[in-house]
Every structure is written in C-alpha cells, then in structure tokens.
Amino acid sequence: MSTQPQRLSTAVYAATEPHRLACEAREVLRWPLQQRRDYLQAVHAKRGPAAAEALRAELRAQYAQREQARHALKQGWADAETDIATDTATDAPSHRKENPPC
C-alpha cells in the first residue's frame, strides 16, 4: 500500500476542466459589471494571463448562448401571441357569453 497521496489524473482533469470553467463563467455572468471586471483582474493576477483569457472567452461564449436563447424565447412568445390572436378571431362562441358570472 502506498503512503503517497493520489494525484488527479490528467484524463480526469482534461474532462472536468471545461465543465469547471463553464460553471465559473455562468456564476460570474450573474454578477454586476464592475464585480466581473474586478474578478477578471484577480484571475489575471493569481492564475495568469492565459487563465484570464480562457475565462473571458468562456464568458463571451456563455453570454452569446444566453442571448441566443433569449431571442429564441422572445420569438416563441411572439409566435404564440400570433396564434392566440388568430384563435380568438374565429367565430367560435365564447363560454363567457353563455355563462355569465353569478
């Protein structure tokens, strides 16, 4: 039995680092702009310019993905509102006219 601590394997690190970076970027995106800037400066100082640039790239990617999802959602709502307007324009009788409130 070995008394030396086990090191994280390169394969595990390679598999988990992108996930960790994506999680970190999602969390940082929730913060106010100045706090994000301060954090990126701290990352640059503590982890180096390569780590800071990797985080910036992931922040940009996450932001673009979020904006794309917002646009798709907004478009989906616009389509749904069009469908609702079309459905209410038909000659189908309304239950409100037939059953007035008590």
pLDDT value at 89 more than 90: no
Residue 97 confidence (pLDDT): 54
Residue 14 confidence (pLDDT): 74
Look at the alpha carbons of 7, 9, 14, 17 in this order and tell me if their dihedral is positive or negative: negative
> Tokens 């079309």 identify what position?
86
> Tokens 């690190």 identify what position?
13
32-84, pLDDT tens digit by residue? 999 999 999 999 999 999 999 999 999 999 999 999 988 888 888 767 666 66
pLDDT range class, residue 12, cuts 50, 70, 90: confident
